[in-house]
Amino acid sequence: MTYRRPAAIPVAMSVVAALVLVAGLWTGWVHHWAGIDRPDARALDAAYRMADAHGWWVPLWDGLSTIVGPGVWRVLVVVPIVLEIRRHQVRTACFLAVSIWGSGLVSTVVKHLADRDRPVTQLVSASGTSFPSGHALGVLVAVGTLLVVYSHLIRRSWRAVIVILGVLLVIAIGVARVALNVHHPSDVLAGWALGYAWLMLCLCLSGVLYRGLYRGRYTGSTR
């Protein structure tokens, strides 16, 4: 079987750019760069004031973080993994498993290495360290993975709508973590960037792309 490979240079450049962003954000908070510290502090202060003024603020964002958090996706993905194995699409099942479940390991390792404290003003209890946001990373990878594998099953007229809803969900999760003061904005940006890099790495290593990933239809040379 053969497949259409992604454009290697643009993908590699985008992954490098994402990792450079993570490194820059990491370096910025370690050395207390004003360009990192000030936006972080202002966003957290604004969210804290909103929570103090509105009783619905914390339940809204905490509920969103819980209902569509990465832990939920890592449980739900068991269903498509089993279905793909039953369809003898082992490569697709492996892609789903490694990308979505592996994102948790990536988050844990980087959090341990960075060891950034969570904001002292956190509005809900959150364990672990702060950088990067595991919610931002995990949800981006989960949504991105499922869209890569299954978006072609959606009618063309609805495909753009589903993609936009997926993007909005990823953004909303990131906003929620800052709104709850459990993450700095720089943690969320790092989570998105690292999640994108991980997803692209899994996609390239899987050796399959888009429709070929699901249907087993490939184009190109066997060489």
pLDDT at position 35 is 94
pLDDT at position 60 is 97
110: in domain = yes
195: in domain = yes
pLDDT at position 85 is 94
Measured from the Cβ of residue 118, the count of other Cβ atoms closer than 10 Å reads 18
63: in domain = yes
**From first to last of its 223 residues, what are the pLDDT tens digits of the chain?**
334 445 678 888 999 999 999 999 999 999 999 999 999 999 999 999 999 999 999 999 999 999 999 999 999 999 999 999 999 988 889 999 999 999 999 999 999 999 999 999 999 998 889 999 999 999 999 999 999 999 888 888 899 999 999 999 999 999 999 999 999 999 999 999 999 999 999 988 876 444 444 444 433 333 3
142: in domain = yes
Assigned token pair, 105: 């390991």
Domain count along the chain: 1
223: in domain = no
1: in domain = no
Segments forming the whole domain that contains residue 15: 8-215
2: in domain = no
pLDDT at position 7 is 64
220: in domain = no
